[in-house]
């Protein structure tokens, strides 16, 4: 037990000496790790957020039949009757041109100039339709049935939006993943170099250690710990940055009417914890890999 404590003290002391020796390089490596793993964290949170939002829409999805602005009153009623009697439709809601305008007024409250260009008469009235079953196929076939009716301007299904958003989020995730791989590789290489410099600075000690019969793992361990420490520091900074960004973005979604649509893109606290832990862990792994490679490669003195 005393041997173990002594050894732990030895490793802690040696690691700390190494960290202090290269402060600028240390900071550079930590920041690179931080940015890299922050992207990993954000990518993970974006994934959770899109899954959460899509799940919600897929549960209670509706679609909207937009009518020609100049449609005759009789046509509106006839269409409404047909929708109400349709076996696959649960309920409908009619949105008049006035109501459509007031919705738009809400959305464009920040931009009155834009609103001034739009007249009530130019807006399409619409039916919001909630089908009995929120199945994508059913919604699509219902939409197709009504799309070609006289007086119908267009039919917007939630599915199209969901697909568009899913696609957008998928490509966002890929970009983030790619960037984080590049940054993770860059930070591993920085740590690799840092450990190489540290080992070079201590080559006399390493030579003596080998001479008196210290095992390779004993010689390597302080250097690997040093790399992991940098990775951990970078991971913590990156996770904190991702957390701050997440709050900022959610606040932005909450405040801006234009981005109101994104309000359903939220991350639960459990998911946030998972993403944070993954972010920190990623940093430690990057640090361990970079330093383990260096320690393995430059031990022959």
Contacting residue, 86, 149, 166, 210, with other proteins by CB under 8 A: 210
Residue among 13 and 128 whose Cβ is closer to other proteins: 13
Residue 223 CB, nearest distance to other proteins (Å)?
14
Using left for φ > 0, alpha for ψ between -120 and 50, and beta otherwise, residue 213 falls in: left
Contact 227, 290 (CB under 8 A): yes
What is the C-alpha to C-alpha distance for residues 90 and 88, in angstroms, rounded to an integer?
7
Kindly state the smallest distance separating residue 214's Cβ from other proteins, in Å: 4
Asked if 213 touches other proteins (CB under 8 A), the answer is yes
Closest contact distance (angstroms) between CB of 202 and other proteins is 9
Residue 225 sits in the site that holds other proteins (CB under 8 A) = no
Q: Phi and psi for 245 in degrees, rounded to 5?
A: -60, -40
10 near other proteins (CB under 8 A): yes
Under the binding rule (CB under 8 A), the answer on residue 3 touching other proteins is yes
Instruction: Tell me what percent of the chain is helix, strand and coil, each rounded to the nearest 5.
Output: 75, 10, 15
Binding residues for other proteins, rule CB under 8 A, total: 19
Q: Which stretch binds other proteins (CB under 8 A): 2-10, 58-66, 104-112, 144-152?
A: 2-10
In the complex, the smallest distance separating the C-beta of residue 201 from other proteins, rounded to whole angstroms, is 11
Spatial contact of 67 and 146, defined as CB atoms under 8 Å apart: no
CB of residue 18 to other proteins, shortest distance in Å: 14
Rounded least distance, CB 13 to other proteins, Å = 10
Please give the span between the terminal C-alpha atoms of the chain, in angstroms, as a whole number: 32
Nearer to other proteins, 107 or 221 (CB): 221
- By beta-carbon proximity to other proteins, the closer residue of 3 and 60 is 3
**CB under 8 A: which stretch of 83-91, 191-199, 204-212, 286-294 binds other proteins?**
204-212
Contacting residues for 38 by C-beta, under 8 A, at least 6 apart: 237, 238, 239, 241, 242, 245, 279
- Identify which of residues 6 and 254 has a Cβ nearer to other proteins in the complex: 6
DSSP 182-194: HHHHHHHHHHHHH
Q: Which stretch binds other proteins (CB under 8 A): 96-104, 148-156, 202-210, 270-278?
A: 202-210
Query: Can you tell me the distance from the alpha carbon of 277 to that of 60, in angstroms, rounded to the nearest whole number?
Result: 33
215, 256, 268, 273: which one binds other proteins (CB under 8 A): 215
Dist CA 120 CA 98 (whole Å): 6
205, HSE (Cβ side, Cα atoms, 13 Å): 12
Of residues 185 and 214, the one with the C-beta less far from other proteins:
214
213: DSSP letter: T
Alpha carbon distance 168, 173 (integer Å): 9
Q: 40: Cβ–Cβ under 8 A, 6 or more apart, which residues?
A: 176, 180, 184, 238, 278, 279, 282
Q: Shortest approach of other proteins to residue 251 CB, angstroms?
A: 53
Distance CA 83, CA 105 (A): 28
The footprint of other proteins on residues 22-41 (CB under 8 A) is: none
Q: If binding is defined by CB under 8 A, does position 6 make contact with other proteins?
A: yes
Within 108-167, which residues bind other proteins (CB under 8 A)? none
Site residues (CB under 8 A) for other proteins? 2-3, 6-7, 10, 204-205, 207-216, 218-219
């Amino acid at each position: 037990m005393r041997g173990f404590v002594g050894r732990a003290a030895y490793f802690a002391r040696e690691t700390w000496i190494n960290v202090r020796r290269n402060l600028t390089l240390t900071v550079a490596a930590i920041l690179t790790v931080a940015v890299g793993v922050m992207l990993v964290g954000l990518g993970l949170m974006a994934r959770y957020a899109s899954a959460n939002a899509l799940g919600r829409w897929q549960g209670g999805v509706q679609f909207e039949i937009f009518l020609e602005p100049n449609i005759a009153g009789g046509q509106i009623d006839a269409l409404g009757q047909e929708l109400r009697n349709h076996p696959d439709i649960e309920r409908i809601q009619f949105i008049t041109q006035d109501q459509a305008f007031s919705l738009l007024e809400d959305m464009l409250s920040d931009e009155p100039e834009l609103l001034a260009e739009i007249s009530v008469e130019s807006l399409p009235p619409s039916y919001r339709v909630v089908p009995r079953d929120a199945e994508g196929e059913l919604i699509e076939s219902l939409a197709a049935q009504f799309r070609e009716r006289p007086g119908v301007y267009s039919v917007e299904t939630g599915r199209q939006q969901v697909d568009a958003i899913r696609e957008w989020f998928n490509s966002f995730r890929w970009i983030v993943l790619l960037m984080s791989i590049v940054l993770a590789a860059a930070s591993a290489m920085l740590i690799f170099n840092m450990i190489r410099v540290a080992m070079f600075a201590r080559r006399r000690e390493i030579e003596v250690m080998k001479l008196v019969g210290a095992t390779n793992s004993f010689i390597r361990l302080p250097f690997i710990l040093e790399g992991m420490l940098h990775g951990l520091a970078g991971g913590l900074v990156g996770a904190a940055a991702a957390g701050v960004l997440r709050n900022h973005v959610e606040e932005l979604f909450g405040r801006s009417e234009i981005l109101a649509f994104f309000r359903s893109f939220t991350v639960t606290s459990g998911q946030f914890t998972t993403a944070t832990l993954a972010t920190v862990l990623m940093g430690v792994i990057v640090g361990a890999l970079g330093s383990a490679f260096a320690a393995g490669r430059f031990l022959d003195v």
